[in-house]
Structures are given as structure tokens and as C-alpha cells.
Amino acid sequence: MCTRILWNTNDRAVLTGRTMDWPESTEPVLTVFPRGLRRDGGMLKGTSVVGENPLRWTSGLGSIVTTVYGAGTADGLNEAGLGAHMLYLDGTDLGPRDPGRPGLQIGLWIQFLLDGARTVTEALELLDTCQLVPVELHGFPATVHIALEDASGDSAIVEYLAGERRVHHDRGHTIMTNAPAYDEQLRLLRKEVRTLRELGHVKPGSEVPLPGNVNAVDRFQRAAYFSSLLPEPADDRQAVAGILAVTRNASVPFGAPYREGRFRTYNTEYRTVCDLTNKRYFFELSTSPNLVWAEIDRFDLSPGAPVMTLSPEGTDLVGDVSDRFTRAPAPF
């Protein structure tokens, strides 16, 4: 079900942490895409899924991402410092297909934005150039919304509800989970804050009662509370540690599997951190004891360079793994 947390108020770096909560392995692969790749937005594992008029483009920016099921991009950042994150939203409704508009299968939504936009504003402008088309990934409908942020700290949440796009564009939109829709999440957060103040909890403190469950509303409010308490980091290491601490707090531990009418959420499969200032991408698999990261500036992103990949499954991976990536088999 997932949680995204943006930290854009410290003096060291703009950082985003996210959890990937899912009922099975999404087969995550860390992938580096160079510039100059020709893309077909209608393809899903070699099959056209949008019908006529698929969106086609050539990547203008390199990126480092986490792919899922070998069919789409769930998370990542590009060389300009734009981050993008795909999270589940059960109420997603893209509306009827208009063949007069170029179609983009939704699993490639954020990869399209990372390929062509340097800022949140540019990414939002790209949304008008195509129409999203629903697909299933591994038997699951890809009903999702996305979060965007850039190195300036700007932020946006994009959802499609009742066939209409809703955009929340402001650097204050730092927390995101799942259902209900973002407007309702903000209303519930304001209600919780008012309740706490009525009970005499004017300032954050150890005595403040916090929602402690694993549902999306509780995770949203808990992430908002702890991210507001993050101290100014002394260095980049402390900055990453801070955002990771909040991201881990919002994770769903093993033993809380999806059950209709019970938890309605999934265990956390992995966590990532995007350092948009220093162009570092951190990855932490829940079943691995180690945190790994890669620096996008260490890769050849020029047109014609190979796509590079790394499976995060190896327990021998630790620290900077930029030199552990290998060339992906062609065609990618």
C-alpha cells in the first residue's frame, strides 16, 4: 500500500523516503536508464495494451529507478534531481479511452516523467501530452497515484478520480499514503490535530497519543508527526538516517498480511530514499540486513550507453553498489 515522506526543510539535502507495501515480491530491480532510449508507452512485456495511437518518446534524461515485474517503474530519480513515486490508490479512475490522444500504459507513467522533466512543474506539463491507460501487473490492477518532488523542494500529488485529474502542487504536500484520496487525508489530519489541541497537546511531545495501526490513515498521521520532529542534520549521513527513521516507522512489519475486513494492507517489501540534492538512490530490502545505494553521476548516461541493472536480493550487497551494476541483456 506504501508511504511517501518528503523532507524539504533541512539545510543539507532534499530527501524522500518511501515504503513499498505489497502482498508478494514485485521482483524489484535497480535499473539505470541512459538518455536517448526510444520508448513505446503502449507496450507491456512486449504486448501492445493501449490500442491505437500509443505515446512514443525518446528519453532526454538519465535515471536510476526500481522496476517492478519487469513491466514498469515504481520509484526513482533522474539526473536533474526529479523524484517520482507510484503508490496504490484503490479509487483510481482514468475515465474512458480517447484514441485521439496518445496512450501511455500506467506502469510507465513515472518513467515517462523522469525521462523528460527536470522539475515538478515540467512534469505536470507533460501530463497534458498523453492519456493514461489502465493495465494489470501480475494480476493486480495498477490503480495508482503518484508523488513528485524536485531538488528545489517543490512537490506534487497527482490522482485520477471519477475520470478527472486532481493535482495538489505545493512544497507543503510532503506525506502520502493510500486511500482515502489526498483531500480526505488532509481533512483527517487537520481533524486529528484539532482533537489533540482540544485535549491539551499544544506542542509535540512524548505524551501525545498517536495512531498506531498499519492502515493508510494511521500511517499518514504518524509519518506527518515524526517528520515534523526531525532535527537539523549535521551532515548528509544524519540526513539520510533521519528520513530512514521515519520511513521505517511507517513500515508494515511482517505478520500483518492483507485480509479483507481485517488489516487491508500489505507487509513492507522494501524502502527507498531519494537524495535529490546529491543524486543518490538508497534501497533497503526488508529481507536483507543491509542498506545499499548508488550514485547516478557514476554511470554513463550518454545516448547509446547500456541499460545497467542490479538485483537487490544478494545479502553480500552493502554500501555504495554503483560498481556492482551490470549491462542489461538487449533488447531491454
Mean pLDDT of the chain: 91
Q: pLDDT, tens digit, for every residue of 163-185?
A: 999 999 999 999 999 888 888 88
Using CA atoms, how far apart are residues 305 and 300, in angstroms rounded to an integer? 6
pLDDT higher than threshold 70 for residue 96: yes
pLDDT higher than threshold 50 for residue 262: no
Among 92, 202, 225, residue whose Cα is nearest residue 146: 92
Contact at 8 Å (CB) between 216 and 266? no
Q: pLDDT, tens digit, for every residue of 17-58?
A: 999 998 889 999 999 999 999 999 998 888 888 989 999 999
Phi first, then psi: give them for residue 221, nearest 5 degrees. Answer: -70, -35
Mean of the pLDDT values across residues 236-258? 89
pLDDT higher than threshold 60 for residue 261: no
> What is the CA 192 to chain-centroid distance, rounded?
26
Q: Comparing 86-95, 185-194, 242-251, which segment has the lowest mean pLDDT?
A: 185-194
Using CA atoms, how far apart are residues 8 and 150, in angstroms rounded to an integer? 10
Using CA atoms, how far apart are residues 218 and 120, in angstroms rounded to an integer? 27
Long-range contacts of 209-213 (CB under 8 A, 24+ apart): none
pLDDT higher than threshold 90 for residue 15: yes
Ordered by where they begin, the domains of the chain are 3-327 (3.60.60.10)
pTM of the model: 0.93
Contact at 8 Å (CB) between 153 and 121? no
Mean of the pLDDT values across residues 203-221? 79
* Of residues 261 and 59, more confidently modeled: 59
pLDDT band at 199 (very low <50, low <70, confident <90, very high): low
Percentage of residues in the chain with pLDDT exceeding 90? 70
With the C-alpha atoms ordered 94, 147, 83, 21, is the resulting torsion angle positive or negative?
negative
> Residue 258: what residue type?
Y
Q: Comparing 1-10, 67-76, 197-206, 287-296, which segment has the lowest mean pLDDT?
A: 197-206
Using CA atoms, how far apart are residues 315 and 269, in angstroms rounded to an integer? 15
Residue 73 has a pLDDT of 96
pLDDT higher than threshold 90 for residue 161: yes
Residue 263 has a pLDDT of 43
Mean of the pLDDT values across residues 47-70? 94
Using CA atoms, how far apart are residues 51 and 64, in angstroms rounded to an integer? 29
Beta bridge partners of 104: 132
- Which range has highest mean pLDDT (22-26, 110-114, 139-143, 224-228)? 110-114
Residue 213 has a pLDDT of 86
pLDDT higher than threshold 70 for residue 204: no
